[in-house]
Amino acid sequence: MMDVTIAQPGELNRDVLDCAETLVRSAFGHSFRTHDWLHGVDGVHVLVTENGQLLAHASVVARSLCHDGEVFTAGYVGGVAVRNDQQGRGLGRVVMDHAEAIIQAQHQLGALNAVDTAAPFYAARGWLPWRGHTQADTPDGVVDTYDPDDQIFVLPAGVSVDRLSDSTPLICDWRVGDLW
Ligand SMILES: CC(C)(COP(=O)(O)OP(=O)(O)OC[C@H]1O[C@@H](n2cnc3c(N)ncnc32)[C@H](O)[C@@H]1OP(=O)(O)O)[C@@H](O)C(=O)NCCC(=O)NCCS
């Protein structure tokens, strides 16, 4: 029987977090970057289990995104992964349905940085590729964050898509490691 657990930040014990990290690292393979797991640890976790086995995971981290002088509360999605031997049976859809419901309920905007192979997965769910410039508000001021490998997507929640013109940069808050 399949269960979906939504765990608020700090609710998961070490064993469950370790299990989720192992799943995510294994699903991402070599594209997993140093801080990718740590970035998601303090978020709301979506866990899909079946018969006590963890099969899929995502986390939604509260961040601030600034655009055209306005600051939006954003649900930044990371650690989206389905166990390798379980992909293609709808579990990615299940974790993202829940991650997006969290964004709709608690944030004005969703955002994520997709790996190449998963970009069509998010696009098919209505996530919009961000085609404008990106910047980050760092301790040293606002810096450009252009990276040819980034595939940033946004999902308007409380905010209308018309307010997200890509002629103005999207600015994320600072964090350790990759900023997007
Ligand atoms: C990407 C991933 C989360 C998708 O999960 P999944 O369980 O395999 O996907 P599902 O079976 O739920 O598929 C849901 C739909 O998305 C489509 N889809 C799944 N993966 C896709 C992909 N990589 N590209 C395009 N479409 C994809 C499916 O065909 C299906 O379409 P349908 O609704 O028209 O039938 C999973 O393949 C995975 O963990 N990949 C490795 C880690 C990764 O890349 N994570 C995302 C990082 S940004």
Contact call for residues 109 and 100 (beta carbons, < 8 A): no
pLDDT of residue 76: 98
- Candidate of 121, 151, 153 to mutate for ligand 1, largest count of ligand atoms within 8 Å of Cβ: 121
CA proximity to 67, closest of 102, 109, 10? 109
pLDDT of residue 68: 95
> pLDDT tens for residues 107-151?
999 999 999 999 999 999 999 999 999 999 999 999 999 999 999
**Is any ligand 1 atom within 6 A of the Cβ of residue 120?**
yes
Atom 13, ligand 1: residue with shortest CA distance: 90
**Is any ligand 1 atom within 6 A of the Cβ of residue 90?**
yes
Q: Domain extents for the chain? A: 2-173
Contact call for residues 106 and 142 (beta carbons, < 8 A): no
Q: Which CATH number fits domain 2-173: 3.90.1150.10, 3.40.630.30, 3.40.930.10, 3.40.640.10?
A: 3.40.630.30
Measure 80 CA to ligand 1 centroid, in angstroms: 10
* pLDDT tens, residue order, the chain (180 aa): 999 999 999 999 999 999 999 999 999 998 888 889 999 999 999 999 999 999 999 999 999 999 999 999 999 999 999 999 999 999 999 999 999 999 999 999 999 999 999 999 999 999 999 999 999 999 999 999 999 999 999 999 989 888 899 999 999 999 999 999
